[in-house]
Structures are given as C-alpha cells and as structure tokens.
Amino acid sequence: MFKVILNLCREAKLANEALGVFRKMREFGCRPDTTSFNIVIRMFCEKGDMDVVLVLIKEMALIGIYPDMITYIVSIKGFCEVGRLEDASGLVKVMRDQGCVPNVVAYSALLDGFCKIGDFDKALELLGEMEKEENGGMPNVVTYTSLIQNFCDNGRTVEALAVLDRMGSRGCFPNRVAICTLIKRLCSDDNIEEAHKLIVKVVANGSVSRNECYSCLVVSLLRNKNMNEANELFRWMLKNQIKPDGLASSILIKQLCLDGQILEGFEYYDEMEKIDCLPSIDSNIYSILLVGLCQHGYSVEAVRLINAMVKRKIKVKASYTDSLIKSLQNSGEKELALHLKSAGIML
C-alpha cells in the first residue's frame, strides 16, 4: 500500500509528500526496502534537492540496506545535474568499495557532468579509466558520441576528432549522429576540406554510408550560407549516383526556389527521378516547385511536374493554392489551369 502511494506521489511530482509518507512506514511496522528508497531518492534528484538524497543514502546503510545500481545511477545523475561533481565522483568510489561495479551508464552520467561544467580534462581522464574497465564499464558508441557532441558544442574540434580516432582504435565504430555532429562543426569552422577527408575515412570503414555523409555535408553547408558549395556538391552527388536524403534535397530545392532559381530546382528534381530517390523529397517541395514554375512561365516543366504528382498521388498544399491560381491567371495560362484542375491534385 505504501509503495502504491509513493508511486502516486512520484506521478504527481510530490517529493515532500512522498518523503512524509515514507517516514510513516515504520510507524505501521513496515520496513522500507531498496525500492521504496529509490522512489523517494529519484524524486528528490529530479527536484535537485541532493542534500536529502545524501541523507537517504546514509539511512539505507544504517538499517542494513545497500544501494543498488538504480540508486547510484539516479543519484550520480542528480549530482551532475546540479554541478556537484565531487559528490558524484564520491558515489562512484563508494560503489566500487561496496562491490557494486560501476557500469557504462553510471560512468557516462559522470562524463556528461564533467562536460557540462566545462572540465574536459577530467572528462578525458574518466574516459581513460572507462577504457581500462572490463566488467561493463567500457565506453560504448553512445559514450563516445556524447563526448564528441560536447567537444563540438564547445568549439573544441581537434579534441572531438581525437575522440573519434580513439573510438576507432578500440573497434567501436561511429554512428550517423557522431559523424554529422563533426561535419556540422567543421563547416562552422569553415574547414570544408577537413570535412571531405573525414567523410572519405568514415565511408572507407563502412560505419556510415556515403549517402548519409554527403547529405549531412550539404545540409551543413546550406545552414552556414555556403550556397555555391552546397550546390556544387549536390550536383556532384547526383552525377556519381550518390542519393541525397530528404532533408538535404528539400532544403536545397526550397532555397533555390526562394532565390528565384526555379528551373535549376526542377532540373535537380529531374535528375533525382532518374536515380530513383524522389520518395525522400518532402511533399511540400512539389507545391513550392509547381508555384515557382507557373509564376515564371515554365509551362512545359509545370505540366511534367503535375503529371508526376498525379502519378504519385501528391496534392498541392492548401497554403499554396491561392498563389498557384493567381500566377496562372496573371500569366494567362488557361490550358495549364484547366490541366491542373482536371488532374485532381488541388486540395
């Protein structure tokens, strides 16, 4: 019954009330167990009141109950969240002393804590300790990726690349998130050449595909206003049968349309159709392209796009309908207007 009430308090985020219920347990002859302690400890960790957490952990020892892995991980994360890294590190030591071997989750929480306060030397030192572990504490792809993200977010690109090399030397291959984070950082540093070198190395070991890497580079270039380089890269990708993903394709074509380069956007669409990667394009892009083609009088291309939309059962977005009708009326394209209406793609 007490556990039910404690869990209800947790759902309602009533930490103080839960502690009051917890204190009543002994009055009814109920001895709190590890699970009961963990429920209350978790609530105070979420609240950020870590002094109460320390008191509860000490109480566990006084009544002969040992904290389990859940107790330690939740508490370590709680201390890290409020910047009390000394206490968090102390808990890791206590874990070892009590025979509870820290696992990768506990270590990773502490690692993130050091990064959060900007103590990257400590973070790397801890990573070294993890790499020496043999019983579940060894860093995994999530650990390395998190560290790479933290280094990149703080502009420490050299260290981030070093972590990537360190990761590979241990046979732990990077995932898409790690590589895209590095590519984004390198583009922000205007180090495009290094980004290309990174992609060649990553593709060679087979951890992330060429399609994903180069798509990420296109997006990063666009977000850093390197339109010309993004354009050239996209054209090179299509020429070499490298399929851009939906995000890269949609952002580039939309930007071309906004810049008035409608025909170039349509040409990319045409090339993508040839290598069968159109399904990745956001349906919204069809509407943007169609409006642009009609506004600029490219009726032949507009008809081809309308036919393709009919074939793929793609409708013109309602937000673009008025612009489309207005542009057709202004250009006097009566036949195209009739074709559009008969195609049944207007919402």
The answer as to whether 192 is a domain residue is yes
- The CA-atom distances, in angstroms, between 113 and each of 47, 75, 290 are 17, 12, 50
The residue ranking higher by pLDDT, 327 or 10, is 10
- The DSSP-derived string for 199-210 is HHHHHHHTSS-H
For residue 278, pLDDT over 80 is answered with no
The answer as to whether 154 is a domain residue is no
- Provide the 3-class DSSP secondary structure of residue 346: strand
Instruction: Please give the model's pTM, rounded to 2 decimal places.
Output: 0.83
User: Tell me, what's the pLDDT at 28?
Assistant: 87
The answer as to whether 215 is a domain residue is yes
Q: Are residues 253 and 315 in the same domain?
A: no
Q: Are residues 319 and 257 in the same domain?
A: no
User: Tell me, what's the pLDDT at 34?
Assistant: 93
User: Tell me, what's the pLDDT at 320?
Assistant: 83
Which pLDDT tens digit goes with each residue over 129-140?
A: 899 887 677 899
Q: Are residues 1 and 117 in the same domain?
A: yes
Which pLDDT tens digit goes with each residue over 155-199?
A: 999 999 999 999 999 989 999 999 999 999 999 999 999 999 999
Q: Are residues 263 and 333 in the same domain?
A: no
Which pLDDT tens digit goes with each residue over 326-341?
A: 777 777 777 777 777 6
The residue ranking higher by pLDDT, 288 or 325, is 288
Indicate which CATH number applies to the domain containing 114: 1.25.40.10
Query: How many Cβ atoms sit within 10 Å of the Cβ of residue 326?
Result: 13
Query: How many Cβ atoms sit within 10 Å of the Cβ of residue 334?
Result: 10
Domain count, the chain: 3
**Of the residues 238, 271, 304, the one at which a domain ends:** 271
Q: Are residues 108 and 200 in the same domain?
A: no
| Distant-in-sequence, close-in-space partners of 87: CB < 8 Å, separation ≥ 6 | 50, 54, 79
- The CA-atom distances, in angstroms, between 37 and each of 90, 290, 312 are 20, 62, 57
Structural domain for 219, as ranges: 171-271
User: Tell me, what's the pLDDT at 347?
Assistant: 57
Q: Mean pLDDT of all residues in the chain?
A: 90
For residue 29, pLDDT over 90 is answered with no
Q: Are residues 17 and 100 in the same domain?
A: yes
